[in-house]
Amino acid sequence: MSAFVIRNFFYSIVIIIGVLTVTFCLLYIIPGDPARMMLGQRADVASVESVREELGLNKPIYIQYFKFMTNAFQGDLGRSYATNREVVKTILDKLPATALLSFSALFISSILGILIGIISAVKQYTWLDNFSMVFALIGISFPSFAFGLIMALVFGHLLKWFPISGYVNDGLQYLVLPMLTLALRPMAITARITRSSMMDVMSQDYVRTAKAKGLSSGKVIFKHTLRNALNPVVTTISASLAATLGGVLFIEYIFNWPGIGLLAIDAIFKLDFPMIQGTVLFSAIVFVVINFFVDIVYAMLDPKVKLS
């Protein structure tokens, strides 16, 4: 166990360093000058150069890179070029809204996806199975941002059942449209993987033996079949969380949800380098932590998987 933790911790550090390095290099390839963006296009050259010197943008790239990496590992991501607020504090302020949207969408997609997959596997090749799999195929194929626009148009603008944008404390009605939009694709993927895994396990000898012993359908499905079919489902859900956190940027932008995704897109438009780097670092850390715990859960579910 200790060797597993140490090895994965080392890999995690390498991944985070790689993500930060690539992001740092890409940002300085992007055309545009943050100093001029801050002062406006009519600013004189002397003022622009003064701001560049203040921000350290006139120094060689390798010096900027070394300073950035040193500060990042000390928990200092600098200040936003646009607001002059500390990047870490700004991200922490936006974190609750993003966490609420992401985890509620993942919870809904996991529960409904597993349930649809179980029903499809048990009622395989019936009209219910065909309908479920067609729905899952549409969910996988349809872009989330397009589905979000349709949801906003139909349920927000035409029917006026839910607010189209924004968020207020304890206002769950604001959560419904972005949550369902974000949950569609991972729910469809989970449903297909659950069905496939369930059908594979149901063909095993021990499941047929359990049925021959006269066990109830519920025990056969949930105790003998679902439990042994969960490994690929858990892996799918973990990958769905990564995809959810990636897709949340566009969903937050569409529904004006005040989270880290909207913060990142706004930073990109303003060439706010410290904020972009901070949001990327946050995403990388979340992915690494999630994958670490998924490996442990995967090993707990399948005794054949060894942590070491």
Q: So what's the pLDDT on residue 144?
A: 77
Q: Alpha-carbon distance 196 to 294, whole Å?
A: 21
137, 155, 186, 237, 294 from 230: Cα distances, Å: 21, 35, 16, 10, 12
Q: Which helix (H) or strand (E) holds 160?
A: none
Question: 98: helix, coil or strand?
Answer: helix
* Alpha carbons 154 and 204: distance in angstroms, whole number: 46
Contact assessment for residue 156 and residue 81, using Cβ atoms and an 8 Å cutoff: no
Nearest residue to 193 (alpha-carbon basis) of 126, 109, 127, 305: 109
- Residue 262 has a pLDDT of 85
Report residues of the chain scoring pLDDT below 50.
Answer: 307-308
Q: How many CB atoms lie within 10 A of CB 186?
A: 28
pLDDT of residue 302: 57
The sign of the CA dihedral 175, 176, 181, 187 is positive
Tokens 């179980």 map to which residue?
Answer: 118
In this predicted model, what pLDDT tens digit does every residue of 157-178 receive, in sequence order? 788 788 877 776 666 778 888 8
Gap between the Cα atoms of 28 and 192, Å rounded: 42
Whole-number pLDDT of residue 171: 64
Alpha-carbon distances, residue 85 vs 48, 184, 204, 234 (angstroms): 20, 35, 59, 39
Encoded tokens for 174: 């604001």
The yes/no answer on whether domain 94-270 falls in CATH 1.10.10.10 is no
The Cα 141–Cα 129 span in angstroms is: 18
For the chain, how many residues are written?
A: 308
Cβ pair 75, 68 in contact under 8 A: no
* pLDDT for res 268: 83
**In this predicted structure, what is the pLDDT of residue 14?**
86
| Torsion angles phi and psi, residue 305, rounded to 5 | -90, 125
Paired tokens of 301: 């579910």
Contacts of 306 (CB under 8 A, 6+ apart): 299
**What pairs with residue 79 in β-bridges?**
86
Structural element, H or E, at residue 77: none
Q: What are the pLDDT digits (tens) for 213-251?
A: 666 666 667 666 766 677 778 777 777 776 676 667 778
Quote the DSSP letter at residue 259.
Answer: S
- How far apart, in whole angstroms, are the C-alpha atoms of residue 227 and residue 218? 12
